[in-house]
Amino acid sequence: MRYIFVLTCSLALLTACTQSQNKNPEAKVVTTSKPSVLSSQSDGDPLLGLPAVPIPNDNLQTPEKISLGDKLFHDKRFSIDGTVSCANCHDAKKAFGDGLAVSLGHHDLTGTRNAPTVINAAFYTSQFWDGREPDLEGQSKQPFVNPVEHGLTDHEVILEIVRTDTDYQTAFSSIFGVSGKQVSIDHVAKAIASFERTIISGNSPFDRYYFKGDTKAMSDTQVRGFKLFIGQGRCVSCHTIEQDHALFTDNRFHNIGIGINDIQQDVPRLAEAFLQAKNKDVDVDIMVLTDKKSSELGRFAITNELDKVGAFKTPTLRNIEMTAPYMHDGSLKTLKDVIIHYHNGGVTPASAKVNAYLSGGIRPLNLTEAQIDDLVAFMKALTSPEYAQSSANTTIN
Amino acid sequence: MSTTNRSRRNFIKNTSALALGSTLPISMIELAFANSNENFTFAYISDSHIQHIKGTRFVRNWDQGLKRAVAETNLLTPKPDFVMFGGDLAQLGSKPELDHGAEILSAISNDIHYVMGEHDYYLDLGAYWEKLFGPQYYSFDHKGVHFIVLNSIRTYDEWTYNRWPSNEQRMLEMAGLDNPNGSPFMVGNEQRKWLNNDLAKIAKTTPIVVFSHSPLQKIYKGWNFWTEDAEQIQALLKPYNKVSVIYGHVHQIQYNQIGNISFHSVMATAWPWPYPSTYAQAEQYLPQLTVPMNRADPFFERDATGWQFINMANGNVDLNFTLNSNKNRSVKFNNVNKRPEDSQFQEQGSQIPPQTHY
């Protein structure tokens, strides 16, 4: 829906539109490629800098399905105490994050990981910080039944609601042709995923600078920051930029010295205990979100690969200014903290012990104070106009 | 074969009782003596090239490679019976380098046996190394296997003792590649005599594993992928039914079979060879012994480095290469073809063509 209002609202109406619940009946444009007609508008192509959204063959986009997904995404009844919807932690007003270090579930329980923004999540080739689900469909099912998120013991509560609520009955029947017991959690997941595939956003100052040749789109310090980004800063090796688009992620997993640094001595014990538990069919999703130390095993917990200990997915940098705090555990408050962490070669503070499993690409950068500031400035050139607007009345940073 | 398979199945069954599935890479114990009590693995770390800059500063990249191998070795479950270090712990053989390397290795929770590399040796001819790690050549027995460690990187006495104005100069000359001032590695008379006596006590049916730094076969002289008296060593080992030679030095995966002897190289933790062709500063003359590796990624400094854990498999060795940012490899003895083979990439059709440019 956020995508749709971008298409249908002029910039001046944007704030008002955000606050309405997107019930615009004309909003039904769904596409997998850039709508070139928009390029002629004064505010440009909102998808500038993005590739086509990958849409799975078994879950094609339709306006009705997207609208259903939007509704499901915001339904607080899908939680143990009726207070938690997807939007609690993925709040459109907070750039589809929550501004917290780690997210709050029911009864203010906290997990172990920072809520990643939904914006442009459709482009990832795996979901969650550790990539434990291949797609948005798989991802969307897990928080409902995690003990520290929505807190449901199983998906039955959700199915009960969607099978009996008349609006939902009508929607599932017309979209999927199912009713009663035929409605499964996979239908719910498909609708939510379809909705999330509309939350995509490009057209940042960087996009206009790089892909449209608008040399004025970025400030001098941002341009210097960009040169550092692809040079001495070594950022672009993981936060990739292609010739005709930029997702700022390699979709790979790297140990960058976050979280793992504090538990280095425990890793042999934790790794063995984790694998034993996993072999006894303990749910990985629950384990990594409820046990802070196991959480820090990162991608290793999913693949058992030794070179993935403490490794997490490279997140996109689009709209990064709006999604503080940073890193998988939300442990770094500002973009400057992040740049300094990399500058230090994967440690915060600089005197901390480098972890033995550190990804081979992470090394001290020897940046000057001014260069660090330039890189931070460049990060702020990656914000899409609609989120730059919505951030004006938030307290981030 | 069938005996092996049966005991292997039993072993996997027994292991899964420990709740560790056989598919988990850090519990890749397989196989294989008739008596399953004799199954064991050991880990092998090599070629770390710890390099002193000055004061307390060492080259970070090489430090990280060794630290990583040590940390990963400590994750092995079940624990390996012992750990081998395959030589070239230091870059230029100095006390600070050997001390620093020994300190990093001290985090390993197993016994470590050491092999001498030329980078450890040519400064003081192994004097300080001996203080830290013990004799330069020796043997030991473990669960029915006879292990022999040789110092294979010695050379002609004239070169070692009479040619260089300083020990430092000698070290630098031997550290060079394609160096006309260099000299071929060898085991030498003294150790061959010792080896002959050592082997005399060993039954011909006892599996033998020889650890050396240089290959005990002749591959490429310019880089000392070479042992001058290789044929003589091979002749001493010839009467034994099952012999495996494991060597470091080459920083790449090589394997070969000569008569009764299986040859295996191990990976370096420091840097990979061969360099990508676009980076090579001299033409390379390596023969077609190896399955080409994926080229190293210059961004990920650990790419194409690694370490290995080794299963004793019915008296043969199976090497499992743990390669960071790369596909793990496994080279096992094929009982039908009577030679080591890569378990995934041996067939021409299943090999990955090397990249030729960045």
Dihedral angle of Cα A219, A223, A224, A228, to the nearest 10 degrees? 140
Highest mean pLDDT among A12-26, A228-242, B300-314, B317-331: A228-242
The answer to whether residue B155 is domain-embedded is yes
Q: Please identify which residue in the block is written with the tokens 């046996």.
A: B113
Of A279, A345, A356, the CB nearest to B68: A356
User: Smallest Cα–Cα separation from A47: which of A221, A272, A188, A202?
Assistant: A202
State whether B19 and A279 contact (CB < 8 Å): yes
Alpha-carbon span A181 to A162, nearest angstrom = 10
Q: How many CB pairs under 8 A join A and B?
A: 72
Dihedral angle of Cα A201, A206, A212, A217, to the nearest 10 degrees? 120
The answer to whether residue B139 is domain-embedded is yes
Whole-Å CA distances, B171 to A34, B114, B117, B182: 63, 20, 12, 10
Alpha-carbon span B210 to B243, nearest angstrom = 8
Residues of chain B with pLDDT > 90, as a percent, come to 62
Residues of chain A with pLDDT > 90, as a percent, come to 78
User: In this model, does residue A33 exceed pLDDT 60?
Assistant: no
| Pair (B337, B217) in one structural domain | yes
| Pair (B165, B255) in one structural domain | yes
User: In this model, does residue B4 exceed pLDDT 70?
Assistant: no
Say whether the peptide bond before residue B78 is cis (omega within 30 degrees of 0): yes
Instruction: Set out the domains of chain A in order of their start, with CATH numbers.
Output: 2-196 (1.10.760.10)
Alpha-carbon span B226 to B234, nearest angstrom = 13
User: In this model, does residue A17 exceed pLDDT 70?
Assistant: no
Q: What is the average pLDDT across A291-312?
A: 92
pLDDT tier, B37 (very low <50, low <70, confident <90, very high otherwise): low
| Pair (B122, B219) in one structural domain | yes
Whole-Å CA distances, A11 to A4, A5, A19, A53, B274: 13, 10, 14, 23, 57
CB B91 within 8 A of CB B85: no
Give, in degrees to the nearest 5, the angle at Cα A232 between A231 and A233. Answer: 95
- Cβ-based neighbours of A110, under 8 Å, separated by 6 or more: A102, A103, A104, A148
Alpha-carbon span B255 to B257, nearest angstrom = 7
The answer to whether residue B352 is domain-embedded is no
State whether A356 and B70 contact (CB < 8 Å): yes
| Pair (B125, B32) in one structural domain | no
Whole-Å CA distances, B50 to A358, B56, B81, B92: 18, 12, 25, 8
Q: What CATH number did the domain enclosing B236 receive?
A: 3.60.21.10
| Pair (B45, B22) in one structural domain | no
Quick one: pLDDT at residue B301? 85
Residue B65 host element (H or E):
helix B60-73
One-letter amino acid for residue A353 of the chain? K
| Pair (B143, B62) in one structural domain | yes
Q: What is the average pLDDT across A105-111?
A: 94
User: In this model, does residue B303 exceed pLDDT 80?
Assistant: yes
Q: What does the mean pLDDT of chain B come to?
A: 84
| Pair (B1, B65) in one structural domain | no
pLDDT tier, B194 (very low <50, low <70, confident <90, very high otherwise): very high
CB A264 within 8 A of CB A346: no
Which residues on A lie below 8 Å from B67 (Cβ)? 356
CB A151 within 8 A of CB A84: yes
Quick one: pLDDT at residue A184? 98
Handedness of CA A326, A332, A335, A340 (dihedral sign): negative
Task: Please tell me which residue, A204 or B356, carries the higher pLDDT value.
Answer: A204
The answer to whether residue B236 is domain-embedded is yes
CB count within 10 Å of CB B297 equals 17
The answer to whether residue B28 is domain-embedded is yes
State whether B301 and A360 contact (CB < 8 Å): yes
Q: Check CB contact of A174 with chain B, cutoff 8 Å.
A: no
The answer to whether residue B358 is domain-embedded is no
Q: Write out the E strands in A256-335.
A: 312-313
Quick one: pLDDT at residue B274? 66
The answer to whether residue B355 is domain-embedded is no
For A356, nearest residue in chain B (alpha carbons): B68
| Pair (B172, B286) in one structural domain | yes
**Number of domains making up chain B:** 2
> What is the nearest CA distance from A385 to chain B, expressed in angstroms?
33
| Pair (B1, B48) in one structural domain | no
pLDDT tier, B177 (very low <50, low <70, confident <90, very high otherwise): confident
pLDDT tier, A37 (very low <50, low <70, confident <90, very high otherwise): very low
DSSP string, A155-171: THHHHHHHHHSHHHHHH
| Pair (B140, B121) in one structural domain | yes
Domain span holding position B161: 41-346
Structure tokens of B247?
């060597």
CB A46 within 8 A of CB A7: yes
Residue B9 host element (H or E):
helix B2-16
Q: What is the model's pTM?
A: 0.85
Quick one: pLDDT at residue B178? 80
> What is the nearest CA distance from B55 to chain A, expressed in angstroms?
18
Dihedral angle of Cα A71, A93, A313, A54, to the nearest 10 degrees? 50
Task: Please tell me which residue, B238 or A13, carries the higher pLDDT value.
Answer: B238
| Pair (B31, B56) in one structural domain | no
Q: Which pairing describes strands B316-323 and B329-334: parallel, antiparallel, or unpaired?
A: antiparallel
- Measured in whole angstroms, the distance separating CA A295 from the mean position of its chain's CA atoms is 18
DSSP string, A226-253: HHHHTTTT-GGGTS---SS---S--S-E
Q: Which pairing describes strands B82-85 and B41-45: parallel, antiparallel, or unpaired?
A: parallel
User: In this model, does residue B199 exceed pLDDT 60?
Assistant: yes
Which residues on B lie below 8 Å from A252 (Cβ)? none
Quick one: pLDDT at residue B304? 81
User: In this model, does residue A39 exceed pLDDT 50?
Assistant: no
- Counted residue by residue, chain A has a size of 397
Q: Check CB contact of B34 with chain A, cutoff 8 Å.
A: no
Quick one: pLDDT at residue B43? 92
Alpha-carbon span A288 to A122, nearest angstrom = 23
Which residues on B lie below 8 Å from A234 (Cβ)? 299
Alpha-carbon span A247 to A240, nearest angstrom = 6
| Pair (B28, B68) in one structural domain | no
User: In this model, does residue B214 exceed pLDDT 70?
Assistant: yes
CB B154 within 8 A of CB B117: no
Q: What does the mean pLDDT of chain A come to?
A: 88
Give, in degrees to the nearest 5, the angle at Cα B109 between A270 and A293. Answer: 15
The answer to whether residue B101 is domain-embedded is yes
